[in-house]
Every structure is written in C-alpha cells, then in structure tokens.
C-alpha cells in the first residue's frame, strides 16, 4: 500500500510510531494510552494544564483540568510504564476557547467549546508541538475511527459503537490532522462499563472515576453565572413575536434558541402553552419568545466550513448532526462562496447560530461548519 503523491504525509498502518497520548486524568484517555502502548508504539503521556488557577479537586463529575486530574494522569502513566509530562497551554486555551466562548454568547450565538478545543488546542497547538518534537501521532480517548484509504488519505468515521460516538466534536479536523490522529477506543464495541473493567484489570486507579460532564471550565455547571461575571448584568426586554413586552432579563447572553425553562414571564400565553426562545438580539438586548412550532427550521446558512478531506463540489444529499448528543437528519448541502447552504428534508427545531452542523456520508464525516442563520417556516421578528 503506497501513498499517492497528493496524499497527506502521516504514519502508515502497522508502523511502530512515536505517539503522544493526551491524558486528561479520566478513564477513557488512560485506557487509550494503555492500548497504544500495548500495540507496540513508543508512547509518551502528556497532561494539558488548561487552567491558570486549577482547583485541587473536581466537583463531582463536573469540570476537569484540576490538580487532582493531573495527579490521576501521572499515576496512570506510571502504571502503563510510559514517560509523562505536563504541558502548560492555559494561555492558549483561555484565548482560543474561553474568550471565544464568552464573545460568542455576547454576540447572541451559542458556541460549542468542545469543538473549539479539539480544533485549536488538541489538534492544533498540541499536534503542532508534538510533530515539532518528532512524534508521529497524537492519541486521545475519543470514540471515533480514522480509516486509511488506498491512496494514503485519511477519513474520519463514527465509532463502531454509535451510542458512544464522539465524531461530532471532531468534525473540525482536517485531513492533515487526521493523518496524525489516533483513537484507540473508536473501533471496538465496548461499553463504558467494559472500559472501566479493562482499566481495573490494567491496575489503573481511574477505573471508577466519574466522567466529566458539561463545560470543563465551568466546574459548577452555572453557565449563566459564569457569563454574568464576565459580561455583567444588562437588563433588557423579553418580547413576543409581535414585539409586546412580556418581561425582562438581566442579560441576553443567558439564553439560547429553543430554551423553555428559566424565562420567568409574568404574562401567560393566550393558549396557555409554554413559550420558547425564538431569537436573541444583542444589538437591542432583546429576547423574543413564542410557540414551539415557531422554532421549525427548513434551511440554514453556515460559515467557516472545515472539511475532513477534499471539499465537496455542488449540492449533494447527506445526513446532518446539530448537537453532540443529537440524532441525524437528512439534508441537501451545497458549498457556497460564504460557506455552506443546507436544506432540511423535514423541519428541525432548536437550531441556534453559533452551533456546529456536521455532515455525514454514511458513517464518514464529510465536514463541519458554524451555523450563521436559519430559515424558519414561520420566521420570528429579527430571526
């Protein structure tokens, strides 16, 4: 099997590689590093210090990047028998992920910081540093699969077990990055309990450690409070589709399209049904609410596309995923000068600017883009 002249350089299947294993301190990344070492690769573990002021302990299953996590990663590396280092990427993480997260909310958009972290930190800053130091690949505990084609190019596919698939948050990776990515957990149908049992068999103390949930840099899970501390209170109106004032809020950044809870409206809907957030306007600090059916989206425009391989040409049928834990929906997508135009076969709900849309061709990840605007079946004012 030979690489074609135009194929991206990268390790060949079966080679003994120098692998940098990103170890978060959790069970998945520990087992991934252990599997890479067991496969005969020359593995070095690295924990990314992403917080300038890490706490000593996690709050239950929330957060990550604490001192405790660093120690857990080091202990796992010692058991596996691989060298281990801690790399300080806190400033880069703050600029590329945390500051971006705050700025997106301030602009009325709903970002996904996990995609941004994978794009800017784990497979940009980390990978670039790894390649500069002579490593061949970066290994993580993500559940996804990289397939090497006959011409040497790489494709990103869903994990064998789609219940655990994490390809959505990896849809920002380009072909060069895929050529140096390794996901040892993606091609085996093992349940999380089996991963934990494997960790226990290997003597890894993180076998029963809770998974990290929510946004890693908001350990208490209070996104609205986190944003309020950084953006400050900014009272504005909550209005209906006709512009009638229904209540007030302390910051439009505390809402997202499709939100139902926490609106605290003093005026009930005429039909008595719940209202949902339909539009967020940072220009006049107004949140528009309305009935659930007004959330129906028939098409969208997305920007900043990133292709996991050659960019498609012309319209084509795909399936699309709009959330990390969402299902697939049939679409027709076409690249444009601005980015991407997507039309849904059936209306979908809860589409918010700032979210990522990831396109699939079967199990293959075609690419991703950031949602800029949505076409509603019944458009809300300003939407």
Give residues with Cβ within 8 angstroms of 238, minimum separation 6: 245, 246, 247, 248, 249, 263, 265, 286, 287, 288, 289
Active-site annotation holds for 65: no
Q: Which of 114, 139, 216, 308 is catalytic?
A: 216
Q: What ranges in the chain are assigned the alpha helix state H?
A: 27-38, 67-80, 90-93, 99-106, 113-117, 126-132, 175-178, 192-201, 223-231
Is residue 276 within 8 Å of 290, Cβ to Cβ? yes
Question: Could you give phi then psi for residue 277, rounded to 5 degrees?
Answer: -70, 125
Task: Tell me how crowded residue 358 is: count the other CB atoms within 10 A of its CB.
Answer: 28
Token pair, residue 336, equals: 């444009």
Token pair, residue 266, equals: 């003093």
Is residue 231 within 8 Å of 253, Cβ to Cβ? yes
Active-site annotation holds for 139: no
Q: Which of 64, 65, 117, 139 is catalytic?
A: 117
What helix, strand, coil percent values describe the chain, rounded to 5? 25, 30, 45
Please report the sign of the dihedral spanned by the C-alpha atoms of residue 325, residue 331, residue 337, residue 338.
negative
The edge-to-edge listing of strands for the beta sheet with 84-88 is 84-88, 42-49, 18-22, 137-139, 181-182
Q: Cα 154–156–162 angle (5° rounding)?
A: 150
Can you spell out the DSSP letters for 175-187?
A: HHHHTTEE-TTTT
3-state secondary structure of 199: helix
DSSP conformation class of 55: -
Token pair, residue 278, equals: 């339909």
**Residues with a known catalytic role:** 117, 216
């Amino acid at each position: 099997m030979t690489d074609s002249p135009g194929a991206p350089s990268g390790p060949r299947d079966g080679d003994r590689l120098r692998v940098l294993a990103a170890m978060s301190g959790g069970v998945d990344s520990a087992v991934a590093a252990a599997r890479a070492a067991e496969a005969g690769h020359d593995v070095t573990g690295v924990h990314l210090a992403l917080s300038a002021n890490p706490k000593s302990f996690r709050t239950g299953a929330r957060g990550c990047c604490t001192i405790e996590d660093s120690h857990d990663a080091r202990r796992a590396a010692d058991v596996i028998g691989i060298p281990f280092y801690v790399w300080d990427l806190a400033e880069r993480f703050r600029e590329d992920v945390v500051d971006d997260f705050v700025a997106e909310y301030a602009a009325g958009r709903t970002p996904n910081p996990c995609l941004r972290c994978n794009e800017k930190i784990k497979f940009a800053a980390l990978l670039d540093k790894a390649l500069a130091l002579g490593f061949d690949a970066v290994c993580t505990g993500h559940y996804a699969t990289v397939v090497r084609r006959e011409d040497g190019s790489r494709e990103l596919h869903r994990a064998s077990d789609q219940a655990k698939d994490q390809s959505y948050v990896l849809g920002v990776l380009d072909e060069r990055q895929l050529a140096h990515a390794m996901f040892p957990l993606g091609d085996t149908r093992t349940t999380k309990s089996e991963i934990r049992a494997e960790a226990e068999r290997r003597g890894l103390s993180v076998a029963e450690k809770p998974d990290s949930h929510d946004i890693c840099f908001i350990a208490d899970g209070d996104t609205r409070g986190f944003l309020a501390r950084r953006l400050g209170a900014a009272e504005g109106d909550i209005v209906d589709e006709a512009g009638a004032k229904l209540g007030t809020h302390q910051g439009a950044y505390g809402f997202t399209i499709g939100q139902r809870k926490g609106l605290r409206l003093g005026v009930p809907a005429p039909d008595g049904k719940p209202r949902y957030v339909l539009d967020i306007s940072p220009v006049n600090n107004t949140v528009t609410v309305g009935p659930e059916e007004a959330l129906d989206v028939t098409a969208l425009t997305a920007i900043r596309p990133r292709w996991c391989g050659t960019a498609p040409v012309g319209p084509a049928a795909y399936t699309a995923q709009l959330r990390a834990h969402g299902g697939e929906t049939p679409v027709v997508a076409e690249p444009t000068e601005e980015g991407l135009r997507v039309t849904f076969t059936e209306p979908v709900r809860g589409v918010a600017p700032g979210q990522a849309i990831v396109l699939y061709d079967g199990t293959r990840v075609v690419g991703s883009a950031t949602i800029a605007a949505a076409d509603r079946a019944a458009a809300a004012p300003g939407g």
